[in-house]
A and B are shown apart, each in its own frame.
Chain A
Amino acid sequence: MRVLVGLSGGVDSSVAAALLLEEGHEVAAATMKLWGGAGDSGCCSVGDVDDARRVATQLGIDHHVFNFSEEFEQRVVSPYAEAHALGRTPNPCIECNRHLKFRRFLDRALRLGFEAVATGHHARITNDRPDGLPRLLRGHDAAKDQSYVLSMLTIEELARVLLPVGELTKREVRARAAALGLATATKPDSQEVCFVAAGPGQGPRRRFLGERIELHPGRLVDRATGAVVGTVAAVELVTVGQRRGLGASALGRRYALEVDPASATVTVGSEDDLLTDHVELTGRTWVGGPLPVGAVVLAQASAHGRPRLVRLTDTGVRYLEGPDRRVAPGQTVALYKGDEVVGSGVAA
């Protein structure tokens, strides 16, 4: 098959390219330039593109650089800032996968005559259904599983995607890279939000968002008493469920229950106040068509969160094994049957 592998400059996609070659595919590589502007730092920086190019030359395959920085700004970075301005907690990696990696990149690959794209994600796509359609499964390495950030893909997209390292553990990936002498064998894993500079605490996110949206100091209002119990420097930086920086009451630590930048208010309460028996979902997607209301699946609300048994409702999911902490609005909830991704939605 003619495959275009998305080389990020990291070890996983490097090995993905090598494995595809071993399997006999006709492979070319491309690196998406998403961020960095003229200065270039962070993800998809000059260094990463250089690493990707070096791996491609080591493997003897063509390498291209696709400049998708405008789309990235428009589809990922700008919505990330806007969501924070509304007190939501977005998941930019998922939006990048949705709009860039598996739409823009895939569309371009198909136009250029490739039959599929491949990435270095730790997840598996199998074609063992009776109807021959693909299934998306968790990666073999549970600790590195990335099926969550791919949960919004549909069968049409999965049919054009290969995830060669999903069968390997991270340790095996590094061993393969080292054995092949690839330049990226010992490169550290990438950070969480690629366009926010790495660093400890809230500082980097505050600086990044502070340049794009207005950050407002706000009040902490106790849900039970209605009393103002404290202040925060920036309402927009508080996430529902957050504990840090909110102080404590006589009843114990305080948690953020609601974030409302419009009134510059964070409603706080106890851990129990955070519990809920359901999650409302918007923008639901289904890998292979919608499941019926009442179907029992597993819901996972973060990249490596614990899957919870839920029943599908008209508008979301209901927990079956007792209440759970509220999912921060804006977070993606991935739905599984066993290890298989069946759909996704965004917490309202």
Chain B
Amino acid sequence: MLPFLVDRYGNPSGGHTVARAARRALDDARERLARLLGARPGDVVFTSGGTEADNLAVSGVASGAGTVLCSAVEHPAVLEASLAAGGRTVGVDHRGVVDLGALAEMLDEKVRLVSVMLVNNETGVRQPLEAVIALVRERAPGALVHTDAVQAFGWLDVASLTADADLVSVSAHKFGGPKGVGALVARDRASLLRPILRGGPQERERRAGTQNLAGIVAMAAAAEATVRDREKARLRVRELSTRLVGGILEAVAGVHEAVSQNDRIDAICNLGVEGVEAEELLVVLDELGVCASAGSACASGAVQPSHVLLAMGRTIEEAKRHVRLSLGHATTAADIDAVLLAFPKAVERLRS
């Protein structure tokens, strides 16, 4: 991405030589990313990240008549946009998987958009997107389907899993790209989105504003590397994750997984620890060199009980005992060893 911050600084919307070079780079990146997402180049709208992509999908479609439905465990970028559009949420079961029976009952010809994420960002649980799409096509043929694939792209074959979705969001920093850049795939019936940022005609009048060219080029490169290595990385992380969770469950009593490994991707391990508050566990783990997280941060930076766990039927007290350990492409076996040393130590310290 560096050349586009230094020598090749042209604005892709301009007409002169430097601008044309920038335009070429933008078009190339769009084609490469479209291919990796199973979309046509014209379907790809570059955004400032996952939140904007989700917002554009929901608000861009919900501007017309009709209701929005989304699962209760969506990322706030979908949930809040949906609530703002007067949308309703569809419940989930104890694993956090969207309740298809409830969805079926809520679907009618008035529904305009259904948004269900591919993988949940807090529990890693996988959603049955194919079944959701089939249900929507059958019961509300006029409705569009959006899926937030932000958490999925690093680990799953998003191109094929979302081939039948109308709208798909991704974010570069979740697969090794820079922060602050993402994309929304808006295909066929969904391609005429009403913009939420107004101004110039960029992105086929779906997203005004000069494109973040350096970020976009970097995102395309990161996406290529991700898809190329995805299966290998997935298997590697699967092994690490299995050892991590198995090791913690063996070493520490009163720990349980929010979602069992079969229902989730391997990169996100969400653990409930009895007798320990997550807020305290995070402080001690941090002290011992382990960066973990819990719930979601509110504006003040305070940890809020996870809306995902609450939607899964956990009480506030239970939700406050959950921590999240995430694995990435850079996670090593030595990192897992370190966590397996630190985690029991931290829990023991807080329980004593």
Give chain A residues whose Cβ lies under 8 Å from the Cβ of B284. 112-113
Give chain B residues whose Cβ lies under 8 Å from the Cβ of A50. 300
A183 at the interface (CB under 8 A from B): no
Give Cα A69 to B304, complex, Å. Answer: 9
The reply to whether B300 and A46 form a contact with Cβ atoms under 8 Å apart is yes
Q: How far is the CB of A39 from chain B (nearest CB, A)?
A: 9
Give Cα A202 to B279, complex, Å. Answer: 38
Give chain B residues whose Cβ lies under 8 Å from the Cβ of A70. 316
A53 at the interface (CB under 8 A from B): yes
The reply to whether A33 and B300 form a contact with Cβ atoms under 8 Å apart is yes
B283 at the interface (CB under 8 A from A): yes
Do A111 and B350 contact each other (CB < 8 Å), given the known contacts A66-B279, A67-B279?
yes
Instruction: Write the B302-317 contact mask toward A (1 if CB under 8 angstroms, else 0).
Output: 1110000000000010
Question: Can you list 14 A-B contacts (CB < 8 A)?
Answer: A44-B300, A45-B300, A46-B299, A46-B300, A49-B302, A64-B279, A64-B283, A67-B279, A67-B303, A67-B304, A111-B280, A111-B349, A112-B283, A113-B349
B301 at the interface (CB under 8 A from A): yes
Interface of A is mostly: mixed
Give Cα A53 to B302, complex, Å. Answer: 12
Give chain B residues whose Cβ lies under 8 Å from the Cβ of A64. 279, 283
The reply to whether B280 and A112 form a contact with Cβ atoms under 8 Å apart is yes
B298 at the interface (CB under 8 A from A): yes
The reply to whether A65 and B280 form a contact with Cβ atoms under 8 Å apart is no
A36 at the interface (CB under 8 A from B): yes
Do A49 and B300 contact each other (CB < 8 Å), given the known contacts A70-B316, A111-B350, A113-B349?
yes
The reply to whether B349 and A108 form a contact with Cβ atoms under 8 Å apart is no
- Which 5 interchain pairs have the tightest Cβ spacing? A33-B302, A67-B302, A49-B300, A65-B302, A46-B299
A38 at the interface (CB under 8 A from B): yes
Give Cα A67 to B279, complex, Å. Answer: 8
Instruction: Write the A213-236 contact mask toward B (1 if CB under 8 angstroms, else 0).
Output: 000000000000000000000000
Q: How far is the CB of B287 from chain A (nearest CB, A)?
A: 8
Q: How far is the CB of B212 from chain A (nearest CB, A)?
A: 26
Give Cα A67 to B299, complex, Å. Answer: 12
Q: How far is the CB of A228 from chain B (nearest CB, A)?
A: 47
| B316 to chain A: closest residue by CB | A70
Instruction: Write the A18-62 contact mask toward B (1 if CB under 8 angstroms, else 0).
Output: 000000000000010100101010001110011001000000000
Give chain B residues whose Cβ lies under 8 Å from the Cβ of A44. 300
Instruction: Write the A95-117 contact mask toward B (1 if CB under 8 angstroms, else 0).
Output: 00000000000001001110000
Give Cα A65 to B350, complex, Å. Answer: 18
Give Cα A328 to B304, complex, Å. Answer: 37
Give Cα A62 to B283, complex, Å. Answer: 10
